[in-house]
């Protein structure tokens, strides 16, 4: 298998995520202003794409509040630096069972809503990209399941395509790529598609290189892929993704540390990634080049 390094690389910064990191680092943004400011700083450091969730400004817990998404969108769109906006559409598929002896009814933490509600903020904010978690998966927690049925994914994918927003397929295992190819074959998603390979998320694809290359080899050759690893694997996966022909994702959603004992900002993680990419002899491309490469349309919020 020849080494086919990507020479023109874009960086996605995953700004805040929905995990329980809000109390583990003061740099994890909570309010729409903090999230937008952190995204803008990441763009200035070299990120062409910013991937954003929103959180309750007081508690830091993940939220689906449309007003929060709209404020983040408006602040980023009004910034002096250009950047491609990528909003999550992963919220609303969370199921927490009641335990091994009495799984039903579900318990606190469950957030299951319909396809239209899961995509409502995408329809209102019109980012260039939004995520589509392309399968159901057990997460690290004992009774939590990320739930995305084929029917739900078909409905959400059609809505995204009709809105002119490009889905970023979030693949946590090879089966998710299998179904993503079916969505393209069925005409739900346009080809060539965009894929994010999510490595090392318990209990999806582990972050060893054999599994990573199995994921890469299941991405059709005309599609564009990016990849990330969690925690200490984040920066090694910057190099691995580029060497495998892909693009990279860094950010506080996936990793809080710059070095051992040193908490990072999003801009610092992007700067570190830029150094690795350029050290490999590749070029970091900007948002205009990403829009041209992926056929993205920068729309105004509805």
Three-class SS string for 117-155? HHCHHHHHHCCCEEEEECCCEECCCCCEEECCCHHHHHH
Q: Where are the alpha helices (DSSP H) in 1-137?
A: 32-45, 66-77, 115-118, 120-125
The pLDDT score that the predictor gives to residue 141 is 80
Q: In whole angstroms, give the CA distance from residue 193 to residue 294.
A: 8
Backbone angles phi, psi at 266, to 5 degrees: -60, -45
User: Which tokens in the block code for residue 74?
Assistant: 């408006």
The answer to whether 76 and 39 have CB atoms below 8 angstroms apart is yes
pLDDT in tens, 3-16: 789 999 999 999 99
| DSSP β-ladder status, 54-55 and 111-112 | unpaired
Prediction pTM value:
0.96
The pLDDT tens digits of the residues spanning 224-271 come to: 999 999 999 999 999 999 999 999 999 999 999 999 999 999 999 999
- The pLDDT tens digits of the residues spanning 135-194 come to 999 988 889 999 999 999 999 999 999 999 999 999 999 999 999 999 999 999 999 999
| pLDDT for the residue 1 | 54
Q: Provide the 8-state DSSP code for 193.
A: P
Pairing verdict, β 111-112 and 93-96: antiparallel
User: Which candidate, 206, 300, 269, 281, places its Cα nearest to that of 12?
Assistant: 269
Residue pair 2/278 in contact by the 8 Å Cβ criterion: no
């Amino acid at each position: 298998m020849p080494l086919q390094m990507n020479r023109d690389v874009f960086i996605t910064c995953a700004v805040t995520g929905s995990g329980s990191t809000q109390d583990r680092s003061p740099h994890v943004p909570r309010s729409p202003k903090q999230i937008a400011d952190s995204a803008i700083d990441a763009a200035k450091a070299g990120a062409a794409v910013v991937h954003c969730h929103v959180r309750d400004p007081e508690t830091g817990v993940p939220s689906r509040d449309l007003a929060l998404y709209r404020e983040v969108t408006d602040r980023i769109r009004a910034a002096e630096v250009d950047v491609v906006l990528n909003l999550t559409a992963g919220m609303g598929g969370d199921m927490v069972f009641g335990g091994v002896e009495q799984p039903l009814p579900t318990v606190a933490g469950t957030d299951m809503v319909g396809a239209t509600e899961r995509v409502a903020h995408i329809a209102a904010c019109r980012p260039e990209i939004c995520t589509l978690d392309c399968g159901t998966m057990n997460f690290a927690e004992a009774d939590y399941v990320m739930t995305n049925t084929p029917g739900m994914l078909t409905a959400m994918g059609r809505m995204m395509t009709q809105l002119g927003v490009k889905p970023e397929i979030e693949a946590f295992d090879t089966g998710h790529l299998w179904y993503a190819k079916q969505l393209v074959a069925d005409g739900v998603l346009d080809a060539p598609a965009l894929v994010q390979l999510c490595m090392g998320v318990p209990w999806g694809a582990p972050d060893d290189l054999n599994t990573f290359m199995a994921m890469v080899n299941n991405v059709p050759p005309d599609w564009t892929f990016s990849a990330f690893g969690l925690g200490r694997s984040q920066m090694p996966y910057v190099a691995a993704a580029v060497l495998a022909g892909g693009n990279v994702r860094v950010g506080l959603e996936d990793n809080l540390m710059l070095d051992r004992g040193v908490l990072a900002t999003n801009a610092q993680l992007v700067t570190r990634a830029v150094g690795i990419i350029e050290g490999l002899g590749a070029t970091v491309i900007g948002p205009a080049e990403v829009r041209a490469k992926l056929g993205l349309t920068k729309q105004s919020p509805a």
